[in-house]
């Protein structure tokens, strides 16, 4: 989380929207074997709960299944900001980005929770692709059962939401306009849109 309060937000809906839009994050935890991290799809279940699954063989799985604290990091769009985009070029480069840290206790899902999570995640991501979606029912019973043997589902009850929306809020409107245009030209249109929409 960025130390400058200009780049923070207390908007829980914006945090949950970031999880919904990105749909992927990194889980971190301190285990008896040391610090561990795992990348995984994420779903916001509402009411401050974030769901995810890990391979049953992942180094974090046994630790989290026993009940543990963890940190989830979701990275949104990011991009380099060039001083050439400022009216006064006597400055230094920086980086605009969106990121969210979620911290809280993790519990293992029951099988029916994992089943619901998988169907919801599949439906969400298949819909994003357009066209005729693939459906879980297309997997054979054997294939689906094999998936269940290989993964473990988890719920995190988020205690602390720590978002950073570093979108040049500390710059005057004319610089922000040029920064957004520069980011768009540089191939980061999602970040450019956020810069345009952020409160100055």
For residue 76, being part of any structural domain is answered with yes
Domain tally, the chain? 1
Q: Cα(98)–Cα(76) distance, rounded to whole angstroms? A: 5
Strands (DSSP E) found in 126-186? 151-157, 160-166
Range of the domain at 66: 5-170
What local confidence, expressed as pLDDT, does residue 146 receive?
92
Residue 5 contacts residue 48 (beta carbons within 8 Å)? no
Number of H helices and E strands in the chain, helices first, is 6, 7
Per-residue pLDDT tens for 4-56?
A: 888 988 889 999 999 999 999 999 999 999 999 999 999 999 889 999 999 99
121 half-sphere exposure, CB direction, 13 A CA radius: 20
Query: Average per-residue pLDDT in the chain?
Result: 94
For residue 111, being part of any structural domain is answered with yes
For residue 200, being part of any structural domain is answered with no
Percent of the chain whose predicted confidence (pLDDT) is above 90: 88
For residue 143, being part of any structural domain is answered with yes
**Residue labelled with tokens 């345009």:** 196
What local confidence, expressed as pLDDT, does residue 104 receive?
97
For residue 176, being part of any structural domain is answered with no
Which residue, among 74, 54, 53, 57, has the nearest Cα to 120 in the 3D structure? 53
- DSSP element (H, E) containing 194: helix 189-197
For residue 66, being part of any structural domain is answered with yes
Per-residue pLDDT tens for 88-127?
A: 999 999 999 999 999 999 999 999 999 999 999 999 999 9
Say which DSSP state 139 is in.
S
For residue 165, being part of any structural domain is answered with yes
Is the pLDDT score of 200 beyond 80?
no
Which residue, among 73, 35, 90, 49, has the nearest Cα to 163 in the 3D structure? 73
CATH number of the domain within which 61 lies: 2.30.110.10
Which residue, among 58, 76, 15, has the nearest Cα to 152 in the 3D structure? 58
Is the pLDDT score of 129 beyond 70?
yes
Per-residue pLDDT tens for 55-93?
A: 999 999 999 998 899 999 999 999 999 999 999 999 999
Angle at 119 between CA 160 and CA 18, to 5 degrees: 35
Strands (DSSP E) found in the chain? 24-31, 34-46, 49-55, 68-81, 94-108, 151-157, 160-166
Instruction: List beta partners, residue 51.
Output: 43, 155
**Residue labelled with tokens 């710059």:** 171
What local confidence, expressed as pLDDT, does residue 1 receive?
66
For residue 197, being part of any structural domain is answered with no
């Amino acid at each position: 989380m960025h130390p400058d309060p200009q780049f923070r937000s207390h908007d829980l809906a914006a945090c949950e929207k970031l999880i919904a839009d990105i749909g992927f994050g990194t889980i971190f935890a301190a285990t008896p074997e040391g610090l561990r991290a795992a990348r995984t799809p994420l779903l916001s279940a509402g009411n401050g709960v974030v769901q995810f699954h890990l391979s049953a063989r992942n180094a974090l799985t046994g630790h989290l299944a026993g009940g543990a604290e963890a940190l989830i990091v979701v990275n949104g769009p990011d991009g380099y900001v060039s001083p050439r985009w400022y009216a006064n070029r006597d400055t230094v480069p920086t980086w605009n980005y969106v990121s969210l840290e979620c911290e809280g206790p993790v519990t293992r899902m029951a099988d029916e929770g994992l089943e619901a999570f998988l169907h919801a995640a599949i439906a969400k991501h298949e819909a994003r692709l357009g066209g005729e979606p693939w459906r879980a029912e297309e997997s054979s019973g054997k294939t689906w059962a094999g998936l269940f043997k290989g993964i473990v589902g988890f719920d995190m009850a988020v205690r602390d939401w720590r978002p950073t929306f570093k979108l040049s809020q500390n710059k005057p409107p004319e610089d922000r306009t040029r920064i957004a245009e520069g980011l768009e030209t540089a191939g980061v249109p999602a970040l450019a849109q956020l810069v345009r929409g952020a409160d100055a």
